[in-house]
Structure 1
């Protein structure tokens, strides 16, 4: 009997003690194990091959070794407005998760620039971020985060630097206004290094990806990646990212005043039923925990449908925007809720029909119960031309016998 543990939550922990930039983040992701070939093949969907090349090589700062990223651009003068960048990403046909996360990162920067310059978001002209290298940094970040398949992203306080920085708008204090605006509500440290250590791109990556900013506890590190920066500071200019696990029963240690779970709801009495299925698929692909529909009766006795979407704090804004953009509703209800999950394991057990997965949970009183996975049983029944119910009964009998023998 093979047991695959699922009592742990897969977590990514950022440690930007010397800040974060887009190229450092890409380098850290590659150093952590994201395949270069996967990143390149996904970036090719942007159809920017003639405009850039990206190289990864070993690097080090003050004795700490890792990976350094270098994005080389053929024509850096080709800047883009926000709407052009949005169109480019949507036309690339990324997965829903990559598209939503990348668009959210750009939205954060666009809204920050719009607020600072007192202009509409659609009028924002990206000087630095519109450049190809920053587009690669942001879209690449979304690609890498999806590949890692993490369930939760955490981060310690972010070092932003001190002094002044030269940019398209002139000489500005550190952190740059856009960086400061994006990091609103995020724990930051100032002045550990002299110079700009966190860029608007790096700030947007963290703000869009991180579930909670807090010191780590009850964490079991499994793998570490280092992204090596190009600047020299008083301390090693590296971004450290740690992949690890947190036991489900220890997850409460990480609770803060910020809600972690949300339900997004909208009522529809004016949208064709055939439009719900693609909307639900897009929402799941973009990171929704679950999507379901409930028949309801609205005012004037109108038959209608209530859409319910479950989300974590990372994806709630993305999913809400997606519903408003892709459906007929003009308003949403966004409700925080508490969630309690029993510790569980996924076990693969050999039966006379072959290997079958079960989900086994432990109740508060210590007793355990289990259930065979429908997909495994259905596949066996179909492949052998047998009745599903009878196959399930035989499989469940064999599994229970093996579990009893293992005690």
Structure 2
């Protein structure tokens, strides 16, 4: 499985992403042509030595650049560039992430926003070039290891803030990308954050596989460690994905069945990945229950608080868990026929990173609806749905 990997151990910016992708083998002249045909800029591609690492240095020189653009003007500029359809969609998606972040930070609708740095031609060039280059890589998957956002403070339009800048932090919030602080300056720009957030799946380590090619994209600043973004093309083997979790656990002995039944929904609403309640015998022979909750580390405190509110327990244990293996999951629709009537039913497909299907399950609510309408027993509807899905998807 051909995979593109970003390793932002020294952060990321638009020009670093461009440099890393050229380092992987993208034709620099081709990249220059696509950017210069879209905007009034000049693109140069060279090399720079960063603490002994020779990296690809992509520089965008602007001409008569606008100081600011409205969101609608950004969209018009992108659409006027006549980019390939898939590239245009990605460029619009990246700027949508930036726009929504700025909208929330400033408390203004997108239509009223004026973009300053991220609305200038060099930022547009970075995003257009990066989206074009990423699509040219023709990767089956794109992964990103933990992102170093840097350290210290950064000046923004709304004052001085600790790194990361407010817009960068807002972009990261919904991405799932793990971050950490190291260094004395800002290392992750809003543009770099948005490109990684739009394209990449977060991983806590390099996946297993063979390295096909490596590239290094140079950043502008001179830092004590190499200010480069490392990129890789890998042939990733068909292994299961991993994610980081914590297991929360508590014992209760005076909670009714009604409260426990309600507890499932309440914990899932605040972010629990799974909940298990097991009957047990406690001290002095009293009957009780062990409640176990699987949670993402960043959600544990909130879930523990809800567990205490709902049950009255005075303590929640956190059981150390490094990670768990998980199957990648996606939803799809299959159609089954019952007595000449066709019904659409959703199915959940579990697969490994190579795309090999591990399991297919029919969605219960859809199957129950079809069972009620058709009169066919529920278990038969589920069997036919899953059998149809296996025949349809197994060979893909």
Corresponding residue for residue 20 of structure 1: 12
Distance 2:27 2:155 in 1: 34
Pair 1:186-2:177 in alignment:
yes
Pair 1:252-2:243 in alignment:
no
Question: Taking structure 1 as reference, are residues 186 and 151 closer, same or farther at Cα in structure 2, changes over 3 Å only?
Answer: same
Question: Taking structure 1 as reference, are residues 115 and 263 closer, same or farther at Cα in structure 2, changes over 3 Å only?
Answer: same
SS for the counterpart of 1:162 is coil
Pair 1:220-2:210 in alignment:
yes
SS for the counterpart of 2:35 is helix
Distance 1:212 1:305 in 2: 36
Corresponding residue for residue 53 of structure 1: 42
Out of 123, 129, 147, the residue aligned to residue 112 of structure 2 is 123
Verify the 8 A CA contact 1:154 1:211 in the aligned structure 2. Answer: yes
Structure ranking higher on relative contact order (CA contacts 8 Å, 6+ apart)? 1
Q: How many correspondences in the alignment?
A: 271
What is the correspondence of 1:5-404 to structure 2 with a 5 Å cutoff?
A: 9-46=1-38, 48=39, 51-184=40-173, 185-190=176-181, 192-247=182-237, 250-254=238-242, 260-263=328-331, 337-339=349-351, 341-342=355-356
Distance 2:210 2:192 in 1: 26
Query: C-alpha deviations, 1:149-180, integer Å up to 9, x for none?
Result: 00101111000011112344443321100111
| Uncovered stretches (5+) of structure 1, i.e. residues with no partner | 1-8, 266-291, 297-302, 309-332, 344-407
Distance 1:69 1:305 in 2: 54
User: Which of the pair has more CA radius of gyration?
Assistant: 2
The alpha-carbon deviation at position 254 of structure 1 amounts to 4.9
The alpha-carbon deviation at position 28 of structure 1 amounts to 1.1
| Uncovered stretches (5+) of structure 2, i.e. residues with no partner | 244-323, 358-396
SS for the counterpart of 1:161 is coil
Verify the 8 A CA contact 1:114 1:121 in the aligned structure 2. Answer: yes
Question: Taking structure 1 as reference, are residues 195 and 139 closer, same or farther at Cα in structure 2, changes over 3 Å only?
Answer: same
The alpha-carbon deviation at position 211 of structure 1 amounts to 2.1
Corresponding residue for residue 403 of structure 1: none
The alpha-carbon deviation at position 304 of structure 1 amounts to 12
Verify the 8 A CA contact 2:241 2:328 in the aligned structure 1. Answer: no
Distance 2:342 2:167 in 1: 43
Verify the 8 A CA contact 1:127 1:168 in the aligned structure 2. Answer: no
Distance 1:260 1:102 in 2: 26
Verify the 8 A CA contact 1:259 1:337 in the aligned structure 2. Answer: no
Distance 2:152 2:205 in 1: 27
Question: Taking structure 1 as reference, are residues 257 and 101 closer, same or farther at Cα in structure 2, changes over 3 Å only?
Answer: farther
The alpha-carbon deviation at position 43 of structure 1 amounts to 2.2
Distance 1:119 1:257 in 2: 42
Verify the 8 A CA contact 1:164 1:171 in the aligned structure 2. Answer: yes
Return the TM-score normalized by structure 1: 0.61
Distance 1:241 1:229 in 2: 13
Return the TM-score normalized by structure 2: 0.62
